[in-house]
Structure 1
């Protein structure tokens, strides 16, 4: 056994538990956490701001399904990463934040980086925030976090360790035992499907709603992606389906029974009311999914979720299953006939509804849908996209049918500006050699624009699609709709191309949709990130 300072032992422990990358910024208060990183064989990615480090860890976790880990300092470092922690909580992402903390904060005042209650502050935006007061406690809490990431709904965790303790000698963490951090898979309820398969067969117009809880991983023992199972479920049941934004890619754009990602459209409530059996799997049906307070169902509502809190929410489901969504779909498929069922919805009407929804989207934010079509036509099928809070993404999330589930990531719940660039960096680090794309708006991009330095430093061939309409257009539209004279919605922008080049990135401003397509493909072949500025003039 090798005795080391606890800060170094924690890095060695994380490596033994499968952590290969840490995002963060070193400081005088967490320098001991950096003693063991290189020795343990962990890659460290230096962010330019702790908010960037948190979003990078988030993007890494979404891309890999493994926890994203971040190291930050006491006080301001922890405060800066709280926004990413809140985003990870809203969107169910496994992020582990490890910070230092002052040894004594009650009897002394005026210390560097001092807060009244750092532990409690972090607790407002994560699953739990606790202080480890011994090496044994630190090891136990790390293992607890890693176990919960795999056995419960993913939520960020925060562990803080006193500065003096980080530098004190400690024995290594206990060896990983067989079965530690084992995935439970979310057990099916004891009574199985409880007759739901029979209800589905008898239903005249069954409707599924598929959410982000189904959008990653594989199903059964075949290793097939979840979308294969979900699409097979529609084929063999004759049911129609919506997906939430987080579930984008679960349904094929060619599927005649798919209503797509338009569940946030007001008219979707009337469509849901037509169904005599609604089954929602792996979705909170939150305000950010529906943009209304009620789902719209008038018949039986079935909820399937790993989180019991979701099963008891305001939608008041008639039947609930606390279950892993993928296992539930697999069990349901096993009870259905193998042959293709006759569609129970009129497919021509579904096509007409989708066309109407797209027209509504285009009318609300003109021209963006056509740009999305041009980009989608040349986008590699295995591309992973990270978007920010921008009108371009609001349109794209509805009209852009992804070929794979779990490949479009958006700050849906917390709705933080500045998410896309650092999250895309984390995703690109997680998937070397595979295409990763950032989509941001001109205003939100400036929240974390400094992370261009990290992207250049890492040599990431990442297209950054910047939607520049020279204003906070969504807020301006909101003010007009509220009969408020628009104010504080226009800000002076920098020359984004020159700014990107100052960081060492490439930059271009295509003048046509064809030039945009060429720029996108060229960016994937570059040796560094490329900022591609898009303006409303692109759509003509």
Structure 2
């Protein structure tokens, strides 16, 4: 046993649990947590703001499949990371935030970084927020978080440790308890669906991000059943892009309800069908649905007559695939019918936001294989994610749900850290870039070959359009922008301002080969 301050022991424990990278910012209140980082052999990525650290951890987790871990200080450090915690909560991202906290707050006021109730504040945007009052409690809560990431819906957790406890000597953390395998899928949870599926004339699957690990089984099930399919935005790539019966990520198109009205069986796998998936109250089917999800809250919200199955999506798809035989007759869906719908929806997207799709098509054509994309709340991403075909799941990450601006740049940095040697790219709007532009310095510091594609329409374009639609005179939607290229160069990054699609493609290719980040400033008017 080794006796060290608890702050150092926490880093050693995390390393023993497989954590290789920690994002964060040190301060006088959490400096004890930094005592053991280098000794434990953990890489630390210094963000410029705790919001950036949180988004980096989010991107790292999405890219690696491992929890993103962050160290922050008491008070403002925790407040600054609450936005990324809320984003991670809405998108089911495993993030562990460890902060310091004051030793006593009830009888003493005016302390540095003091909050009325720091733990409770954090709990509003994460799965749970707890305070450890002993070394044993700190170790137990860390293991609880890691176990829950593996066995239940992954969502962010917050652990706070009093400063005096971080400074106090503590023994090593105990060995990690072994986790048993998740329960196998009961035959009844597969048999009833297999029978319904083979008997249906127009079955439709809907795959969400929770089914990403089951893409191979999903493709096989669709082929055997002759089923049509949709994905949520987060589920893109689960269905092969050349599947002739795949309707795409068009759930939010209002007329997709007409397609669901034709279905005689709907099976939703690994998706919440939240407001940001549909932008309407229901899919639109008249038949019963099957809901496969590991979250009991989602199952409890199913409509009367629907069948809810509590299961891991990938495991359930594998079990269904093993049970399913190829149907003897083709379903009533036709490739031409699907192609017509997809063409109609693409035309709608182009009409709603003119000029974006040709740029998106040119951008997609020049990307290297296996590029992982991190996008922001920007009109370019809103349009592209509806029609951009993905050849694999889990390779386009967007701030769904919570809808935070400034996500893309730091998240792409975290993703690039998680996948050294593999291509990563950020897509962000001019206004969103302002939120976390300082993290460009981190990408320069790390020498990341990261293209940051900045779509500049000189305004909050989506908000302006919404105001006009609501018959509100557009107000406060235009802000003065800097010279983005000079700004990037001031950080030590490269910059390009292409004025044609060919020039844009050349700039993107060069950015992937560079020894640091490149800001690629796309002026909407010049490219339009």
- In the alignment, which of 416, 424, 436 is matched to residue 412 of structure 2? 424
Would the aligned equivalents of 1:5 and 1:166 in 2 still touch at CA under 8 Å?
yes
Q: Post-superposition shift, 1:146?
A: 0.2
The answer to whether residue 138 in structure 2 is matched with residue 138 in structure 1 is: yes
Q: Which runs of 4 or more aligned residues in structure 1 lie more than 4 Å from their structure 2 counterparts after TM superposition?
A: 314-317, 338-341
The answer to whether residue 199 in structure 2 is matched with residue 202 in structure 1 is: yes
Q: Post-superposition shift, 1:253?
A: 2.3
* More deviation, 137-146/249-258: 249-258
Q: Distance in 1 between matches of 2:7 and 2:63?
A: 27
Unaligned runs of 5+ in 2: none
Q: Post-superposition shift, 1:522?
A: 0.5
Q: Distance in 2 between matches of 1:183 and 1:477?
A: 50
Deviations 1:404-428 (A, max 9, x none): 1000000001000010001000000
Deviations 1:110-144 (A, max 9, x none): 00000000000000000000000000000000000
Would the aligned equivalents of 2:202 and 2:331 in 1 still touch at CA under 8 Å?
no
Q: Distance in 1 between matches of 2:407 and 2:328?
A: 42
Would the aligned equivalents of 1:294 and 1:315 in 2 still touch at CA under 8 Å?
no
Determine the structure 1 residue equivalent to 2:373: 385
3-state DSSP class of the match of 1:195? helix
Q: Post-superposition shift, 1:192?
A: 3.0
- Superposition map of 1:405-420 within 5 A: 405-420=393-408
* More deviation, 334-343/40-49: 334-343
Q: TM-score, length-normalised on structure 1? A: 0.96
Q: Post-superposition shift, 1:194?
A: 4.2
Would the aligned equivalents of 1:302 and 1:317 in 2 still touch at CA under 8 Å?
no
Determine the structure 1 residue equivalent to 2:332: 344
Q: Distance in 2 between matches of 1:317 and 1:123?
A: 35
Q: Distance in 2 between matches of 1:338 and 1:299?
A: 23
Q: Distance in 2 between matches of 1:453 and 1:522?
A: 20
* More deviation, 196-205/312-321: 312-321
* More deviation, 311-320/497-506: 311-320
Distance 1:98 1:340, change over 3 A: farther
Q: Distance in 1 between matches of 2:14 and 2:56?
A: 18
Q: Distance in 1 between matches of 2:260 and 2:367?
A: 32
Q: Distance in 1 between matches of 2:349 and 2:263?
A: 24
Deviations 1:23-80 (A, max 9, x none): 0000000000000000000000000000000000000000011100000000000000
Q: Distance in 2 between matches of 1:36 and 1:507?
A: 38
Would the aligned equivalents of 1:257 and 1:343 in 2 still touch at CA under 8 Å?
no
Determine the structure 2 residue equivalent to 1:284: 272
3-state DSSP class of the match of 1:302? strand
Determine the structure 2 residue equivalent to 1:251: 239
Would the aligned equivalents of 1:237 and 1:341 in 2 still touch at CA under 8 Å?
no
* More deviation, 277-286/294-303: 294-303
Would the aligned equivalents of 2:499 and 2:527 in 1 still touch at CA under 8 Å?
no
3-state DSSP class of the match of 1:209? strand
Q: Distance in 1 between matches of 2:219 and 2:187?
A: 26
The answer to whether residue 345 in structure 2 is matched with residue 357 in structure 1 is: yes
The answer to whether residue 395 in structure 2 is matched with residue 398 in structure 1 is: no
Would the aligned equivalents of 1:8 and 1:36 in 2 still touch at CA under 8 Å?
yes
3-state DSSP class of the match of 1:272? helix
Would the aligned equivalents of 1:150 and 1:183 in 2 still touch at CA under 8 Å?
no
- Superposition map of 1:4-83 within 5 A: 4-83=4-83
Would the aligned equivalents of 1:189 and 1:322 in 2 still touch at CA under 8 Å?
no
The answer to whether residue 443 in structure 2 is matched with residue 455 in structure 1 is: yes
- Superposition map of 1:246-325 within 5 A: 246-313=234-301, 315-316=303-304, 318-325=306-313
Would the aligned equivalents of 1:236 and 1:340 in 2 still touch at CA under 8 Å?
no
Q: Distance in 2 between matches of 1:26 and 1:35?
A: 10
Would the aligned equivalents of 1:207 and 1:278 in 2 still touch at CA under 8 Å?
yes
3-state DSSP class of the match of 1:193? helix
The CA RMSD over aligned residues, in Å, is 1.3
Q: Distance in 2 between matches of 1:341 and 1:78?
A: 58
Determine the structure 2 residue equivalent to 1:487: 475
Q: Distance in 2 between matches of 1:201 and 1:519?
A: 50
Q: Distance in 2 between matches of 1:344 and 1:381?
A: 35
* More deviation, 466-475/316-325: 316-325
Deviations 1:279-298 (A, max 9, x none): 00000000010011112111
Determine the structure 2 residue equivalent to 1:96: 96
Q: Distance in 1 between matches of 2:326 and 2:473?
A: 59
Q: Distance in 2 between matches of 1:187 and 1:519?
A: 49
Q: Post-superposition shift, 1:187?
A: 4.2
Unaligned runs of 5+ in 1: 218-225
Q: Distance in 1 between matches of 2:501 and 2:219?
A: 32
3-state DSSP class of the match of 1:245? coil
Q: Post-superposition shift, 1:242?
A: 0.3
Q: Post-superposition shift, 1:229?
A: 2.1
The answer to whether residue 511 in structure 2 is matched with residue 523 in structure 1 is: yes
Would the aligned equivalents of 2:209 and 2:271 in 1 still touch at CA under 8 Å?
yes
Would the aligned equivalents of 2:57 and 2:95 in 1 still touch at CA under 8 Å?
yes
Q: Distance in 1 between matches of 2:198 and 2:74?
A: 57
Determine the structure 2 residue equivalent to 1:174: 174
Deviations 1:297-337 (A, max 9, x none): 11011100001110111645611100011111111111222
Q: Post-superposition shift, 1:538?
A: 4.7
The answer to whether residue 363 in structure 2 is matched with residue 375 in structure 1 is: yes
Determine the structure 2 residue equivalent to 1:220: none
Would the aligned equivalents of 2:237 and 2:390 in 1 still touch at CA under 8 Å?
yes
The answer to whether residue 460 in structure 2 is matched with residue 472 in structure 1 is: yes
Deviations 1:482-507 (A, max 9, x none): 00000100000000000000000000
- Superposition map of 1:102-117 within 5 A: 102-117=102-117
